[in-house]
Amino acid sequence: MKAVVQRVKNANVSISDQIVGKCEIGALILVCAMQNDTVSQAEKLASKITKIRIYQDENHKMNHSLININGSALVISQFTLAADLKRGNRPGFSEAAKPEIAKYLYNHFVSCLKQHGISTQTGKFGSEMEVSLINDGPVTICLDTDQF
């Protein structure tokens, strides 16, 4: 699975001008299930994200995790993280998991964050969404479960 984690002061997601999910201090997480991804990878990704030390301590060093700060998360499905530009300028998405599998893994990932004690809200899988955020830092981390 792939994810982009952005440290935020707040974020929200809207569908048709209606806010459907939000978070305060914490993380905006864009997540994409890839072909051959498993439940185990969703669990590993959630565990890693809750422990990444990207939040500042009293000395302004990134020593705290999402768990340590009691932060919240807004999780958005983002199949475009699977973009492949090897054959030109128009991205291909054939490496993304099929929608029914991707949705299952996305929902499992969200459940795992909640099991770790992270207050988590989401957008709506497969919908056109508008995401607003105040990026803190900015701090943005790209993750791929094939690399850890």
User: Among the options 35, 80, 115, 140, which is catalytic?
Assistant: 80
> Residues 6, 41, 50, 78: which is the catalytic one?
78
Asked whether 8 and 136 are in contact (CB, 8 A), the reply is yes
Our answer to whether residue 109 is catalytic in this structure is no
Q: Which amino acid is at 1?
A: M
Q: Are 133 and 10 in contact (CB under 8 A)?
A: yes
Query: Closest Cα to residue 22, out of 127, 116, 134?
Result: 134
Task: Pick the catalytic residue from 6, 41, 50, 79.
Answer: 79
Active site residue 78: yes
E strands in the chain: 2-15, 18-23, 26-32, 55-56, 62-64, 72-77, 119-122, 130-144
Please report where in the chains the tokens 């500042």 appear, as a residue: 56
Q: Say whether 79 is catalytic.
A: yes
Catalytic residue set:
78-80
